[in-house]
Amino acid sequence: MRLRFAPSPTGYLHIGNARTALFNYLLAKKHQGRFILRIEDTDIARSKKEFEAGIIEDLRWLGLNWDEGPDKGGDFGPYRQSERLKTYQEFAEKLLKENKAYHCYCTKEELDQRNKELLARKESPRYDNRCRNLSDEQKKKYLEEGRKPVIRFKIPEKTIEVNDLIRGKVSFDTKLMGDFIIMKSDGKPAFNFAVVVDDILMRITTVIRGEDHLSNTPRHIMLFEALNSKIPEFAHMAMTMGPDGSRLSKRHGATSIREYRKLGMLPEALFNYLALLGWGSKKDQEIFTKEELIKEFSLERCKEGAAIFDPEKLTWMNGLYIRKKKPQELAKLSIPYLEEKGLREKEDYLIKVIALERERIKKLSEIPDLIEYFLVEKIKFSPEALLLSKKPEVKEILTSLKQELENLSDFSAASLEKIIREWTKNNGLKTKDVFHPLRVAITGRTIGPGLFETMEVLGKEKVIQRLMEVLC
RNA sequence: GGCCCCAUCGUCUAGGGGUUAGGACGGGUGGUUCUCAGCCAUCAAGCAGGGGUUCGAAUCCCCUUGGGGCUACCA
């Protein structure tokens, strides 16, 4: 079994495309097949090398490792369309010779004009196949006019049945289609042609792609037939939508893997979440390891309807995966985010801090704000915290508590808890009337991890220091 | 416009002739606790509409509606 993911390097890896790549990957791995990466860069104007590199990086980051691709080669390369231009020409030549394709001299302007007229008459805008049987004389005349021909495929009249692995049989009547372009006037292959040639040459057996290609599939099938090649199996998965139900796009906010990666999503969370978009297990299970997904995945269980990408559920799942990570791992992952905010800290201290805050982290990008008060010399007070710290009765409590703490030599959480609870009781106070002000004084905020653990990690010196600052 | 695909809580989904229509996210409430988070418990929320078929339809068929796609010298 050979499957491929074939992105165009015209931008960063889109969530929807990543999902397509993921499904291809899962099926390939499930059947011990090959997962192949192919770069469709025939659109020179929009394709950029940096996007190709970006897509490769993000696919790797997500954990979708391919067996053959432009970066690692393989027996059926090249894996970049721009490197097979000659091949497309040869295949087109062959179709021309066999009278299955022909040159068309109509200009873009003429075509547009005719389509407009057809539309005005409420007819289907499509090519009228007028160049199918041009005389040599006419061809010569057109050439003399300086027209650069395209090559069109001569569509046979028939009904094409696509046996889709997700949707079942879908049939198309080719009478409704005009002869389509396989080679553009600049000598580059049109998408519908390049895909077929590539899939033939790369021995692709199964094509999993977006539903937007379903309507193109009859064209592909005709081409496979014209080129006497085995037709691969097709599976068209429903599109990924934004919250308003339209195709997920930039106006919905972050749409690329790169953006979510920068936000601090873990690859395993994204992997798991994306697998659940349009596919579901028969069990009530939602959290899967990569291996479980490979084992469980099947096209039969793929949904036919479109799925709306839900960043909130992704975030929840990300929090879950974060809580499963070891503090030292998280500490390492947090470093770029801390540095971005100009924060830097010794590893062992950072690990302790992160261990305390771990269950509050939903995205790595939240870490700096969450732990800042552990790292900086001068803490910021939230408005609410500031108000509380100014209260006379609070100052009174903190003043005498400070003395108590100054005399304390064992600053462990257990010891602190024992002493402070006793002190509270002895002074006839309620725990929350002591704990809360204390937290506010030493952290500048009203929320956070356990008070005594926080104090232990901060250390006696910082705790006393911060109490002094509040009291003066 | 023509052709094609799709339709279970707000969202992701399970269920494919007989179910109190199940779970998850998000939301509400309560518990745990020094706060938050987490965890636990609990509640609200759905078969798009209309016709068939059938003893019986979320489930099968048709229509309508709604959404999406293709119809490019984009991919």
Within chain A, all domains assigned CATH 3.40.50.620 are found at: 2-73+240-308, 84-237
Q: Does domain A325-376 have CATH number 1.10.8.70?
A: yes
Report the distance from CA of residue A216 to the C1' of nucleotide B4 in Å, as an integer.
10
Indicate the fold that domain A2-73+240-308 takes in CATH.
Rossmann fold (3.40.50)
Report the alpha-carbon distance of residue A363 to residue A318 in Å, rounded. 7
Looking at chain A, how many residues does it have?
472
Report the alpha-carbon distance of residue A331 to residue A346 in Å, rounded. 10
Contact A111, A127 (CB under 8 A): yes
Nucleotide nearest to A281 (CA to C1'): B14
Within chain A, all domains assigned CATH 1.10.8.70 are found at: 325-376
Report the alpha-carbon distance of residue A438 to residue A429 in Å, rounded. 13
Structure confidence at residue A417 (pLDDT)? 92
Residue numbers of A annotated as active site: 250
For chain A of 472 residues, list the mean pLDDT of each consecutive stretch of 10: 96 96 97 96 86 96 96 91 94 95 90 84 84 87 89 94 94 92 94 96 97 96 96 96 88 92 97 96 93 95 95 97 96 96 92 96 96 92 88 89 89 92 90 91 94 94 92 82
Structure confidence at residue A350 (pLDDT)? 96
DSSP assignment of A247-293: BP-GGGS--BHHHHHHHT--HHHHHHHHHTSSB--SSS-----HHHH
Report the distance from CA of residue A361 to the C1' of nucleotide B59 in Å, as an integer.
42
CATH architecture, domain A84-237: 3-Layer(aba) Sandwich (3.40)
Within chain A, all domains assigned CATH 1.10.10.350 are found at: 378-472
Structure confidence at residue A118 (pLDDT)? 83
ipTM above 0.90, yes or no: yes
Q: Which two tokens stand for residue A302?
A: 């793929």
Q: Which nucleotides of B are covered by protein (CB under 7 A)?
A: 1-8, 10-15, 22-26, 34-39, 67-75
Nucleotide nearest to A432 (CA to C1'): B34
Model pLDDT for residues A377-429, shown as the tens digit of each residue: 899 999 888 888 888 888 889 999 999 898 888 999 999 999 999 999 999 88
Contact A70, A80 (CB under 8 A): yes
Report the alpha-carbon distance of residue A153 to residue A133 in Å, rounded. 13
Q: Look at domain A378-472 and name its CATH class.
A: mainly alpha
Report the distance from CA of residue A304 to the C1' of nucleotide B57 in Å, as an integer.
21
Alpha carbon A70 to its chain centroid, in Å, reads 21
A313 is in an annotated binding site: no
